[in-house]
Structure formats: C-alpha cells, structure tokens
Chains A and B, each alone.
Chain A
Amino acid sequence: QVQLQESGPGLVKPSETLSLTCNVSGASISRNYWSWIRQPPGKGLEWIGHVYYSGSTNYNPSFKSRVTISVATSKNQFSLKLTSVTAADTAVYYCARVFGSSGWFYFDYWGQGTLVTVSS
C-alpha cells in the first residue's frame, strides 16, 4: 500500500522559508512524478509543482522563483521549499504521487496534509 506522509514546521514567520518533506512508503520514489498541492483554509486546491525522480521539475508560474521541489532517492523522500512566505501562503500542504504517462497524469495517492501557518 502506497503511503505518503508530510512533515515539517506548522508555523513559519513572514519572509522566512517554508520547508516540508514527504516520506514515501510502499513505492519507490525512483519512478513516477511526485507533486505538492496546497489548499488555503476554506478555498480550493492549487497545484504547486512536481518533480521527477531524475530531478527535473515543473512549477506553477504563480510561485515565480520562490519554489523549489527536490527529490532524495536514497531516503525515498521529496521536499518543498517556498521562500519569502506571507500570510497568503497559509494553507494545508499535500504531497501526492503522480501516476500515468504520455500526458495522462493524475494524483492517485495523497498524504493526509499538513497545515502551515505563516505568522509572526
């Protein structure tokens, strides 16, 4: 059974860097794409970006140059870094496995989500 678990600080100060890790079990991270998605309180889902096990990435342009997603194959983990955070970055952050090929990609396994609050 594939399981994903987010971890990281639940509180981040404005202008600092949000860092989260997703631990993957039941599947090798050396396959598929792996993604981060967030959901501000009471709002909809927002795709942040995804990483391939090789390290190649694609990001939502709305995050401009603030976001970095990386993979640690030896630990079967991938990570999210979001710099210069503001209150607008307060959200539940989900990690998810991307399944599919040839353009037909979808999120088939999700972590439970972790709430990150940006506040001083």
Chain B
Amino acid sequence: DIQMTQSPSSLSASVGDRVTITCRASQSISSYLNWYQQKPGKAPKLLIYATSSLQSGVPSRFSGSGSGTDFTLTISSLQPEDFATYYCQHSYSARWAFGQGTKVEIK
C-alpha cells in the first residue's frame, strides 16, 4: 500500500509569511493528490484536488504543485484563519490514504 509522509509535522509562522508543506508518496501517484484543512473540532475541508485545482470558494493564496511522489501545498501569505492542520490524501489506487498531518501554529 502507498504511504504518505508529510513534512514538517508542525511549523510556527507569522501572519503574512509564505508557508510550504510537503507531502511525499512511497511510490508514484501521478497527480492523484488532494489537500485538506482541518480546524479543531471541525470536519476537514477540501482545499485542493488533483494536485493543483483549487476547490470552489478557497482563497487563491492556497496553491498546490507536484507530480509523481513529491507534492507541495503553499500558502502565499498566511492569514489568521489559516492556522490549522493540513492533510494530503492520495486516490491513486483502490486503497486511499492520508498523510499524518502538518499543524500550522502562530509564531
């Protein structure tokens, strides 16, 4: 089965910072990679699907890139409402999986 590894596991950043989160697959997953944001006590929210497609209603400061095994989620200018945990998820095979999450905290 394909394993997803995110880095870092957590990071501290300030409002206005550019933030990059990495997701690595244990084998090639083409571009079958999605990103979610989760705030405490809430269900996850879809941010980006198919590596780089922005879900409707998601601010344009979020972007995704990558292919094969290495993917990134970038927040161009961190806003107060962006402090949350972010998860990647693949749908390459019939058995899907999430990364372990990256918590973005206020510096």
Contact = CB atoms under 8 A, between A and B. Distances in A.
Interface of A: 37, 44-47, 50, 58-61, 94, 100, 103-108, 110-113
Q: For this complex, into which size category does the number of interface residues on chain B fall?
A: 20 to 34
Contacts of B100: 44
Contacts, number: 66
If over half of A's interface residues share one DSSP class (helix, strand or loop), that class is named, otherwise mixed; here it is strand
Given A106-B46, A107-B44, A111-B43, A45 B91 contact: no
B19 interface: no
Given A44-B87, A45-B44, A108-B55, A103 B101 contact: no
B83 interface: no
A45 B87 contact: yes
A100 B89 CA distance: 14
B101 A44 contact: yes
Contacts of A50: 96
A110 B49 contact: no
Nearest to B46: A108
A50 B100 CA distance: 20
